[in-house]
């Protein structure tokens, strides 16, 4: 299976990096990395993917993207202007209490996007919804994301 992991197109890793703690957990991100390694040809996995498998990578990914870092370039997310808000929509739609950035008790979280704005953004970005449906199937959580019409 071919994944977009190169400097020219790195959306298959950049999008999940951006989604960590908004739409997915660190553990789900790690499951995605494992899925990439298992389902890629041996010569198709860039070395930085193995660096991301290190549990200590959590919190240092941005440093890894700096010049001279393990990744050495900014990962692409492929998100449109409303795409960042739509990531919050994925998190809200899942209603997963293990997502630390999703306010579940009415308290605002610093830099979070209001639930309604996030839902509208997700409906405006059906390709993002479709990408995450495939993501959740790949990591063994089919049905994790409700249909876009119910968000």
HSE, side-chain direction, 13 A CA sphere, residue 136: 19
CB 118 within 8 Å of CB 92: yes
CA-to-CA distance for 124 and 111, rounded, in angstroms? 21
Average pLDDT score, the chain: 85
Q: Token pair of 113, please?
A: 């996007």
- For the residues 75-82, what does the mean pLDDT come to? 83
- State the SS3 of 95-130: CCCCCCCCCCCCCCCCCCCCHHHHHHHHHHCHHHHH
CB 74 within 8 Å of CB 65: yes
How much is the pLDDT for 86? 93
How much is the pLDDT for 125? 93
Distances (CA, A) of 37 to 5, 17, 42, 52: 11, 16, 8, 11
List alpha helices for the chain, DSSP H: 11-19, 26-39, 47-52, 61-64, 83-94, 115-124, 126-138
Nearest to 145 by CA among 78, 95, 77, 104: 95
pLDDT above 70 for 118: yes
pTM of the model: 0.85
Per-residue pLDDT band for 111 (boundaries 50, 70, 90) equals: low
34 compared with 101, residue with greater pLDDT: 34
Instruction: Read off the pLDDT of residues 141-151 as tens digits, 9 standing for 90 and up.
Output: 999 999 988 87
- For the residues 102-123, what does the mean pLDDT come to? 75
- Say which residue the tokens 């579940």 belong to: 104
- Among 24-28, 78-82, 86-90, name the one with the lowest average pLDDT: 78-82
């Amino acid at each position: 299976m071919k994944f977009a992991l190169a400097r020219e197109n790195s959306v298959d890793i950049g999008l999940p990096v951006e989604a960590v703690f908004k739409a997915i957990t660190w553990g789900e991100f790690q499951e995605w990395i494992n899925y990439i390694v298992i389902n890629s040809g041996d010569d198709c996995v860039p070395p930085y993917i193995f660096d991301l498998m290190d549990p200590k990578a959590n919190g240092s990914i941005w440093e890894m993207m700096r010049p001279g870092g393990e990744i050495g370039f900014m990962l692409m997310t492929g998100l449109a202007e409303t795409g960042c808000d739509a990531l919050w929509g994925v998190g809200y739609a899942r209603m997963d209490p293990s997502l630390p950035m999703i306010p579940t008790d009415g308290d605002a979280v610093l830099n979070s996007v209001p639930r309604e704005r996030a839902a509208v953004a997700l409906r405006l970005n059906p390709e993002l919804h479709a990408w995450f449906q495939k993501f959740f199937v790949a990591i063994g959580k089919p049905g994790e994301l409700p249909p876009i019409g119910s968000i």
